[in-house]
Structure 1
Amino acid sequence: MTVATPPAPPGTDRRRPPPRPRRRGDLGAAVLFLVPATIGFVVFYLVPAVRGAWFSLTDYAVLAPGSFVGLENYRRLAADPQFWNAMGVTAYYVVINIVVQTLLAIALAVLLQRMTRSILVRGIALLPYFVANVVVALVWYFMLDYQIGVVNVLLGYVGVDAQAFFGDPALAIPTIALINVWRHLGYTALLLFAGLQTISPQVYEAAAIDGASAWRQFRSITLPLLRPVLALVLVVTVTGSFQVFDTVAVTTGGGPVDATRVVYLYIYDLAFAQLDFGYASAISVVLFVVLLVVAIVQLRLLRANESDNA
């Protein structure tokens, strides 16, 4: 039996609505914007990385055609005391730089959030980061000079003997680390400050009503909710700290007695002073693997893919 369709109310158009216009996909625009970055990545990162990995298996020396030597450069590296000294010096620098920089950056970010909303103050905190590393190193090199440096002059006024900040093996690396802390502190604090903005003020208000002190709020609210951003910041800063080069090259040149010969300076000396590109490439590959492992361990330990900020 056929059921009759009820008649449409007067004035109703029984025709099908016109099809909606198709929205053009964003794929074309996305590809257009990605192409320049992709070309830059391939030309300046991927191709040099692949060539460097290949050079690490050869005895390439620029002036002579290289031949394949297999893992000989890596066996040489394992028995090279200068390489292990450079890695130890670099690790010492990284520990000082990261610990001091992270603690001060967290404190500065919290102060910027709670005590001021001035863009001018935030900009002033970021100013050292805009100065080139070489310029910063030169300025501090003259300020910390043993004889005429303003820092030693001020120490003399308070009865403290002049310090050979760059000439004493015990002071050279801590001095270089603190110089770079001064330069990067504002940038690191700004990244953490951006993470603090994602934490709802209502969480702090509820904690204050419950009687939580400022320290308890920082320990139980700020740090847990800031963890994903802090993990990202630590990965970036640790990776950057392992690549320290220009500050050391300008101030100490690796001395005194290899006390500041970091691994990047050692690679540079091997490649461009001794023209031993094969061995320098092998050290670069090992450094890449070390940084990759360190980054993965950091992300896992800090659970960077998890957030308590629901």
Structure 2
Amino acid sequence: MTSPPARGDGRLAAVFLAPALLGFTVFLLWPTLRGVYLSFTRYNLLTPAEFTGLDNYVRMARDPIFWNSLKVTVAYVFMNIGVQTVTALAIAVLLQRLTRSATLRGIVLAPYLMSNVVAGVVWLWILDTQIGIGNEIVTALGLDRIPFLADETWALPTIALINVWRHVGYTALLLFAGLQAIPDTLYEAARVDGAGEWRMFWRITMPLLRPVLAVVLIMTVIGSFQVFDTVAVTTGGGPANATDVLQLYIYQSAFGRFQIGYASAMSVALLVVLSAITVLQYRLTRAGRTDLG
């Protein structure tokens, strides 16, 4: 029989929770509620907000630039998540099955320690059509120079791969942590039964890694929908709006044209979309349940 908690434990817990709750309220909850309110107003930072009802949402539904930005963002998410998840899973399995070197894990994580802006600028120089070392390598192979960030076809996949390069190490380490929870005895028993690496991967690794993989997918999808800084420092939404992602359009509406109310409405719409996707992912992947007994 467990003893009841001491009377002072509740107060002590409140003391420790207070800084986190304060930060959550000031930096997350209040800005969210303020943004929802502003989405029903016309506001330009210089004059008081004027309530306009659903005008911003009606405008958003009729705005072709908004729908193009949403389409570009969804295309980016599919490119980024597809390549990043497969690559991260491969790296995590290799780290777990072949080597568990802390040094190698540090090298894999290194790109994640760089800010998105710095990574974007570095790759902008590397992939420059005229002087970039990337195109120097391309020409050394006897191929024509490729306008990675200056062509409508190449720009969005290039940005997706830049962000894959930066985030794949962090994603791989999250999956690696999940792999650590799978008992080695399961693999040993499978080897005794004559199972190969490929069969063990599909019959043991993937089913038991599913809850962790589901949570990682939810996190990476949310992060991918919020792509902004890499686009801002490389293409600025061009060429011909080929990389005009939704976050960039929201930023330009808010701080370029000072249409804070309209930008808030688009932000609320993005919040609703991400919430729906998160709930759907959680249910489809059964992220809250594990096959480990």
TM-score (norm 1): 0.92
Which residue does the alignment assign to 2:148? 165
Identify the residue that residue 61 of structure 1 maps to in structure 2: 44
Instruction: Report Cα offsets for 1:175-198 as digits up to 9, x if no partner.
Output: 000000000011000000000000
1:237 aligns with: 220
Unaligned regions of 5+ residues in structure 1, if any?
Answer: 1-19
Change (3 A) 1:21 1:216: closer
Partner of 1:73: 56
1:24 is displaced (CA, Å) by 5.8
Instruction: Give the Cα separation in 2 of the matches to 1:21 and 1:226.
Output: 36
Deviations 1:240-291 (CA, angstroms, capped at 9, x unpaired): 0000000000000010011101000000000001000000000000000000
What corresponds to 2:162 in structure 1? 179
Aligned to 2:194: 211
Do structure 1's residue 288 and structure 2's residue 292 form an aligned pair? no
Match of 2:127 among 123, 130, 144: 144
**Residue in 1 aligned with 2:244?**
261
* 3-state secondary structure, aligned to 2:50: coil
* CA 1:25–1:218: 2 relative to 1, 3 Å: farther
1:278 paired residue number: 261
Q: 1:87 to 1:115 in 2, by over 3 A?
A: same
Q: Secondary structure at the match of 1:26?
A: helix
Q: Distance in 1 between the 2:172 and 2:14 partners?
A: 34
Match of 1:247 in 2: 230
Runs of 4+ displaced beyond 3 Å = 20-25
Q: Pick from 63, 66, 90: which aligns with 1:107? A: 90
Aligned residues: 291
Distance 2:13 2:211 in 1: 27
Which structure has the larger Rg? Answer: 1
**Amino acid aligned to 1:71:** L
Alpha-carbon RMSD across the aligned residues, in angstroms, is 1.3
Identity of aligned residues (%): 57
Supply the distance in 1 between the matched residues of 2:51 and 2:102 (Cα, whole angstroms): 57
Structure 2 residue corresponding to 1:118, chosen from 87, 96, 101:
101
Cα displacement (A) at 1:21: 12
- Whole-angstrom distance in 2 between the partners of 1:170 and 1:26: 60
Q: Greater helix percent: which structure?
A: 2
SS in 1 for 2:49: coil
CA positional deviation for 1:23 = 4.9
- Deviation of the 1:306 alpha carbon: 1.0
Structure 2 unaligned segments of length 5 or more: list them: none
Matched to 1:135, the amino acid is: V
Aligned to 1:200: 183
CA distance in 2, matches of 1:21, 1:170: 64
Secondary structure of the 1:212 match is coil
Measured in 2, the distance between the counterparts of 1:33 and 1:244 equals 33
Q: 1:78 to 1:209 in 2, by over 3 A?
A: same
Counterparts of 1:98 and 1:138 in 2: how far apart (Å)?
Answer: 22
Please state how far the C-alpha of 1:27 moved relative to its aligned partner: 2.1
Q: Once the two structures are superposed, what CA deviation does each residue of 1:63-94 show, in whole Å capped at 9, x if it has no partner?
A: 22221111111011001000000000000110
Supply the AA of the counterpart residue of 2:188.
E
Separation in 2 of the partners of 1:29 and 1:233? 33
Residue identity matched to 1:286: A
1:21/1:240 Cα in 2 relative to 1: closer, same or farther (>3 Å)? closer
Query: Amino acid of the residue matched to residue 281 of structure 2?
Result: Q
Q: For 1:22 and 1:205, locate their aligned partners in 2 and report how far apart those are by CA, in whole Å.
A: 43
What is the CA distance between 1:26 and its match in structure 2?
2.8
1:25 to partner: Cα distance: 4.9
- Counterparts of 1:308 and 1:166, CA distance in 2: 44
Counterpart Cα distance in 2 of 1:188 and 1:178: 14
Residue in 1 aligned with 2:283? 300
